[in-house]
Chains A and B, each alone.
Chain A
Amino acid sequence: MRALLVRDLMLAIRAGGGFGLGLAFFLIVTVLVPFGVGPQTELLSRIAPGILWIGALLACLLSLDRILALDWEDGSLDLLATAPLPMEGIVSVKALAHWITTGLPLVLAAPVLGVLLSLPVPAYQWVVISLAVGTPALSVIGTFGAALTVGIKRGGLLMSLLVLPLYVPTLIFGAEVARRGAEGLTVQTPLLLLAGISFGVIALLPFASAAVLRINLR
């Protein structure tokens, strides 16, 4: 399992796309939004937490179809399925690798990009915390979507449609944590719900992903 993780990380860094794509997209969104909104610092700082969350979510979505499609195309998914690794382990490692190459850089970049959106000072820590808690859920749900659509020609579109509604609860509670943090309100309830979603999907979805992957490999 560790070998699979190391290989996926190595591939993501070497092949470029996997590692930089999400981050570049996140950067572009947060740089462009202030231009779109215009010179209204007060409005901008009010929508900043939400924009950061939407940017992170879309950046995650962008790289989802690489999680399993590349391994499917070159046949290594078939070979992994016959290897002594449980399918649940394979999809969990894939999700973890996706989080390390996409989710984690987004978490780390968020405070830097928050400056561009004139994010209120108290919100910085809550944006980082909510993204750190929420992005693993995005990767795990995304891996489920990728498993559902692997092997379908141009499955990326279908996958986006399937995954986006599943992302909504994470977005609502994640952005709520950041918004409440920015206004100095208590964040306990949305943060607990966000963590609940993350832990829930991490615990359950790998089994669903493995099941649909087995069916798709037939």
Chain B
Amino acid sequence: MVLTVSDLAVTRGGLAILEGVSFEVNAGEALVLRGPNGIGKTTLLRSVAGLQPPEGGTVAGAEDQIAYAAHSDGLKAMLSVTENLKFWASVFGLSDIEPALVAFDLVDLRNRMAGTLSAGQKRRLGLARLMVTGRPIWVLDEPTVSLDVASVALFAEAVRGHLQQGGSALMATHIDLGLTEARVLDLTPFKAAPRTRQMDEAFL
């Protein structure tokens, strides 16, 4: 599956923040988005995931192909690790959660309530969710927040495994994951020019 983003423009809170963003992510490829805080990485990823309509441009090849992981993990504190994963697996029509538990070192925690996990463990569970979606394109927003060095390595390993199986990944991160094959796209040049004139046009 090829994810093609062409000439994408996104807005946040009514302000244009990025414009003219174009890139392609092929099967087996990872693309890392970089840029200072507030440049619009999250907004761009939400547009790609289809949660937010873009202001301009197109996203092709994303329909029903994307597993999205945001800042919050979507975990239920009153469900156990297994129940949380099982729920997401059955939402996506799968049932086998064992590989995900193993890949993110959650086997020992499987019967713990998600509410009693540490921040890093919750994050690992949130990322394990990606593996039970069966979707080829992972769209990840700061996936390594609150992970320690060992867990970052686990995560990089999971991403690499996913790429080898023909999946692809698009992620916004500041940390070097050790994924040498990943391409990096700096979003700074795509920052939208301040458009004051557009306001007048609306009234004329």
Residues of chain A having any CB pair with chain B under 8 Å: 2-4, 7, 10-11, 14-15, 71, 73-85, 217-218
Contact = CB atoms under 8 A, between A and B. Distances in A.
B75 interface: yes
Contacts of A218: 51-53
A73 B70 CA distance: 12
Nearest to A15: B78
Interface of B: 49-53, 64, 66-79, 83, 86-88, 90-93, 129, 133
B193 to A, nearest CB: 23
Contacts of A80: 74, 91
A6 to B, nearest CB: 8
B74 A76 contact: yes
B74 A85 contact: no
A46 B78 CA distance: 44
28 contacts: A2-B90, A3-B86, A3-B90, A4-B91, A7-B79, A11-B78, A14-B79, A71-B74, A74-B72, A74-B73, A74-B75, A74-B76, A74-B77, A75-B70, A75-B71, A75-B73, A76-B74, A76-B76, A78-B68, A78-B72, A78-B74, A79-B69, A79-B88, A80-B74, A80-B91, A83-B88, A83-B91, A218-B52
Complex A-B, nearest 4 residue pairs according to Cβ-Cβ distance, in ascending order: A75-B72, A76-B74, A3-B90, A79-B74
A3 to B, nearest CB: 4
Contacts, number: 72
Contacts of A73: 72
A79 B70 contact: yes
Q: Which of B67, B74, B77, B129 has the most CB of A within 10 A?
A: B74
